Amino acid sequence: MEPLSRKLIIQLYSEIISHLKATEPVNLYSLEDVIHKFFVQLFPVAYHQAVHLSKNNNGELHEDYINCLKHTFDDLLPFGQIPKELSRNLMQSVQTARIFMQALHQSAEVLSETDELYASHLSASCQKHLLKMSYCPSCTGLSKVHVKPCYSYCMNVLRGCSAQYAGVLDSPWSNVVDAIDNLVTTHIRSDAGIVTIIKQLDSKLSEAIMLAMEHGPDLENKVKKTCGTPKLLPSLTINNEGKPLTQHSVKWASPADSEILRFLSTIDKSKEFYSNIVNNVCEDEDIQRNDHHCWTGDRIGDYTQLVMTTGIDTQRYNPEVPLEPDAQPNKLNELVDKLLKIRKNIATAIPSPSRNINEIQNDMAGRDDEGSGRITDDMEDDEYNSLQESSGSGEGPTSTPYDPMSPVHKPEENQIEQRSGSAKPTITLLLGLLKCSAATVLVRSFLTCRL
Chain segment 322-333, per-residue pLDDT in tens: 887 766 678 888
What's the mean per-residue pLDDT of the chain?
75
User: What is the amino acid identity at position 292?
Assistant: H
The H or E element spanning position 300 is: strand 300-301
Q: Could you give the CA distance from residue 16 to residue 194 in angstroms, rounded to a whole number?
A: 11
**3-class state of residue 378 by DSSP:** coil
Q: How large is the average pLDDT for residues 2-12?
A: 80
User: What is the amino acid identity at position 262?
Assistant: R
User: What is the amino acid identity at position 26?
Assistant: V
* Better-scored residue on pLDDT, 443 or 355: 355
* Better-scored residue on pLDDT, 3 or 269: 269
Given a cut of 80, is residue 67 above it in pLDDT? yes
DSSP 298: S
User: Which stretch, 214-228, 347-361, 428-442, has highest mean pLDDT?
Assistant: 214-228
**3-class state of residue 142 by DSSP:** coil
Encode pLDDT of 20-59 as tens digits. 887 777 777 888 999 999 999 999 988 888 777 654 556 7
pTM metric for this prediction: 0.70
Encode pLDDT of 407-430 as tens digits. 434 344 334 344 444 444 445 545
User: What is the amino acid identity at position 320?
Assistant: E
Given a cut of 50, is residue 292 above it in pLDDT? yes
What is the CB neighbour count within 10 angstroms for residue 41? Answer: 19
Q: pLDDT tier at 190 (50, 70, 90 boundaries)?
A: confident
Q: How large is the average pLDDT for residues 420-446?
A: 45
Encode pLDDT of 127-160 as tens digits. 888 888 888 766 666 665 678 899 999 999 999 9
Q: pLDDT tier at 313 (50, 70, 90 boundaries)?
A: confident
Which pLDDT does position 27 carry in this prediction?
76
Which pLDDT does position 336 carry in this prediction?
93
Which pLDDT does position 156 carry in this prediction?
94
* Better-scored residue on pLDDT, 140 or 364: 140
Please report, for the chain, the start and end positions of each structural domain, with discontinuous segments joined by +.
2-450
Radius of gyration of the chain, Cα coordinates, nearest whole angstrom? 31
Q: How large is the average pLDDT for residues 254-280?
A: 81
Which pLDDT does position 451 carry in this prediction?
41
State whether the Cα torsion 158-164-167-170 is positive or negative.
negative
Q: Could you give the CA distance from residue 137 to residue 33 in angstroms, rounded to a whole number?
A: 68
Q: pLDDT tier at 390 (50, 70, 90 boundaries)?
A: very low
Encode pLDDT of 338-355 as tens digits. 999 999 989 886 655 445
Q: What is the dihedral of CA 77, 79, 81, 85, to 10 degrees?
A: -130
Which pLDDT does position 245 carry in this prediction?
46
